């Protein structure tokens, strides 16, 4: 079993959703500086990950990955030094197959060599994708994925450097039946610390409607996986889109609240150098971050779910519960549950703190969000008195 390197869900920033293959030293370091300047780094967003397209299309003479000198003129160890100097952690992207999704060299046949190279650059986090993994002779697709991810997991351990391991395998099994992807998630939590499931979240160039529907899709998918997550081993429904164009403040707040109640990794992927005050407020909401990062490490479960609404409850250390009331429909609705349905003990009175407005009220049991706007989520922290 891979070491426990992520006691709480990883937080940070990744370039993919906004910049895609237009990644560079400037993009990475400008955004890293923005992470620090905005105060988001101090709130826990500490891992900066370079996604696909950072290498040349061919390996070097010794079979090594070669950073693209036009994109990374000072090389990749330099990125690590700069990030570490800013108090941040260094994440990088690789792929378990012959080629990455964007057809740059994959690590198949080079697992130890690549792990050693990443460790020599002082990498702290590896996102390991699963494009172009050819099914091995005499093995099933699942066995093949298990083999390659296990090999990379061992290679990372053999470097002696603690490198958090993000496994993309489950995303490559999502249409193949519950039993199968449940199994894949099971072994992903043995070989690594977190795993990507659901679809890739929409990227900046997609329409606002596509962005919202991808948040919806990954929410619905991830919400069913609560039982497969364990403290320290995380389901990853992909990036937070706050800051990308076209989404409303209500929608980016909903994504943040839903991801937090599901104890999902909080990985922003936008242009942080021109983040709006609204997006910064959403990403920087300390009480919502605290729900996500709660030391119990439990993913909130669905208390209620229908076509238009969902209610989730997450146990927190000390006995409180975080309760999310989500109106996924296109008309205003009142969404409600009760304290006991959300798992709180029976009591005469409960304190209800609205983590969006910061207002505290009291209830004898009913928890209601009155006429929630379309796509809005209310997130409450509820304590029995
Ligand atoms: O490659 C895949 O689609 C990744 N998805 C996505 O996040 C991004 O890294 C892209 C780059 O080519 C998964 O890892 C599931």
User: Running DSSP on this structure, what letter comes out for residue 335?
Assistant: E
Pocket test for ligand 1, best of 17, 49, 52 (most atoms within 8 A of CB): 52
Q: Could you tell me the distance, in angstroms and rounded to a whole number, from the CA of residue 129 to the centre of ligand 1?
A: 6
Enumerate the domain spans of the chain: 11-292, 301-384
Q: How large is the C-alpha radius of gyration of the chain? A: 21
Alpha carbon of residue 131 to chain centroid: 19
Handedness of CA 74, 76, 78, 84 (dihedral sign): positive
Sign of torsion, CA 173 178 181 184?
Answer: negative
Residue pLDDT tens, the chain, 385 long: 999 999 999 999 999 999 999 999 999 999 999 999 999 999 999 999 999 999 999 999 999 999 999 999 999 999 999 999 999 999 999 999 999 999 999 999 999 999 999 999 999 999 999 999 999 999 999 999 999 999 999 999 999 999 999 999 999 999 898 899 999 999 999 999 999 999 999 999 999 999 999 999 999 999 999 999 999 999 999 999 999 999 999 999 999 999 999 999 999 999 999 999 999 999 999 999 999 999 999 999 999 999 999 999 999 999 999 999 999 999 999 999 999 999 999 999 999 999 999 999 999 999 999 999 999 999 999 999 9
Ligand 1 centre distance from Cα of residue 72 (Å): 20
pLDDT tens for 81-120 read 999 999 999 999 999 999 999 999 999 999 999 999 999 9
Measured from the Cα of 20, ligand 1's closest atom is 11
Indicate which residue's Cα is closest to atom 5 of ligand 1.
200
HSE at residue 381, side-chain half, CA atoms within 13 A, is 21
Strand partners, 313: 301, 323
Q: What is the pTM of this model?
A: 0.98
Q: How far apart are CA 125 and CA 230, in angstroms?
A: 19
Pocket of ligand 1 (CB under 6 A): 16, 51-52, 93, 100-102, 129, 168, 171, 196, 200
Phi/psi at 269 (5° precision): -145, 85
Q: Tell me if 260 sits within 8 A of 379, measured CB to CB.
A: yes
- In the structure encoding, which two tokens stand for residue 234, read together? 């995380």
- Dihedral angle, C-alpha 7, 13, 18, 22, nearest 10 °: -120
Quickly count: other Cβ atoms within 10 Å of residue 160's Cβ.
9
Dist. CA 194–CA 111, nearest whole Å:
19
SS3 (DSSP) at 27: helix
Classify 53 in phi/psi space as left (phi over 0), alpha (psi -120 to 50) or beta.
left
Distance linking the first and last C-alpha atoms of the chain: 41
CB atoms within 10 A of CB 20: 15
Question: At the top level of CATH, which class does the domain 11-292 belong to?
Answer: alpha beta
Atom nearest to 127 CA in ligand 1: 14
The DSSP bridge partners found for residue 301 are: 313
User: Catalytic site residues?
Assistant: 129, 200
Correct CATH for 301-384 of 3.40.309.10, 1.10.357.10, 2.60.40.1180, 2.30.110.10 = 2.60.40.1180
**Pocket perturbation via mutation, ligand 1, pick of 13, 99, 100, 101 by most ligand atoms within 8 A of CB:** 101
Q: How far is the CA of 237 from the centre of ligand 1 (A)?
A: 12
| ipTM for the whole complex | 0.99
Using an 8 Å Cβ cutoff, are 262 and 226 in contact?
A: yes
Query: Of 16, 129, 169, 236, which is best to mutate to test ligand 1, by the most ligand atoms within 8 angstroms of its C-beta?
Result: 129
Q: What are phi and psi of 45, to 5 degrees?
A: -75, 85
Reading the block at residue 338, the tokens are 């009760």
Bridge partner residues of 94 (DSSP): 128
Predicted pLDDT of residue 177:
87
Closest CA to 267 of 275, 256, 281, 257: 256
Start-end of H helices in the chain: 16-19, 25-37, 75-85, 111-120, 141-158, 178-191, 208-223, 249-261, 277-283, 286-292
Give 80 Cα–ligand 1 centroid separation in angstroms: 22
């Amino acid at each position: 079993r891979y070491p426990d390197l992520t006691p709480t869900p990883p937080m940070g920033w990744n370039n993919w959703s906004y910049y895609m293959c237009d990644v560079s030293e400037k993009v990475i370091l400008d955004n890293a500086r923005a992470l620090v300047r905005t105060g988001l780094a101090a709130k826990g967003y500490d891992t900066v990950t370079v996604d696909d397209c950072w290498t040349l299309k061919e390996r070097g003479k010794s079979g090594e990955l070669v950073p693209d000198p036009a994109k990374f003129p000072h090389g990749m160890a330099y990125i690590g030094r700069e990030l570490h100097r800013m108090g941040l952690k260094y994440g990088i992207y690789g792929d378990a197959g012959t080629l990455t999704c964007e057809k740059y060299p994959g690590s198949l046949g080079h697992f130890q060599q690549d792990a050693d190279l990443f460790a020599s650059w002082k990498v702290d986090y590896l996102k390991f994708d699963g494009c172009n993994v050819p099914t091995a002779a005499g093995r099933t697709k699942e066995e093949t994925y298990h083999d390659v991810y296990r090999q990379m997991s061992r290679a990372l351990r053999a470097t002696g450097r603690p490198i958090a391991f993000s496994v993309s395998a489950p995303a490559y099994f999502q249409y193949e039946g519950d039993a199968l992807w449940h199994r894949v998630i099971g072994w992903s939590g043995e070989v690594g610390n977190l795993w990507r499931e659901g679809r890739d979240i929409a990227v900046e160039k997609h329409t606002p409607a596509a962005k919202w529907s991808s948040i919806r899709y990954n929410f619905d998918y991830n919400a069913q996986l609560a039982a497969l997550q364990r403290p320290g081993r995380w389901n990853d429904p992909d990036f937070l889109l706050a800051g990308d164009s076209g989404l409303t403040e209500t929608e980016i707040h909903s994504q943040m609240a839903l991801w937090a109640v599901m104890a999902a990794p909080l990985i922003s992927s936008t242009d942080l150098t021109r983040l709006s005050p609204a997006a910064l407020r959403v990403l920087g909401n300390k009480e919502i971050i605290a729900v996500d990062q709660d030391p119990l490490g439990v993913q909130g479960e669905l208390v209620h779910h229908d076509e238009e609404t969902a209610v989730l409850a997450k146990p927190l250390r000390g006995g409180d519960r975080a309760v999310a009331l989500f109106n996924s429909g296109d008309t205003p609705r009142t969404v409600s549950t009760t304290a006991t349905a959300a798992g709180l003990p029976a009591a005469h009175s409960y304190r209800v703190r609205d983590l969006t407005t910061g207002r505290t009220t009291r209830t004898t049991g009913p928890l209601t969000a009155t006429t929630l706007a379309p796509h809005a989520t209310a997130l409450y922290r509820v304590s029995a008195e």
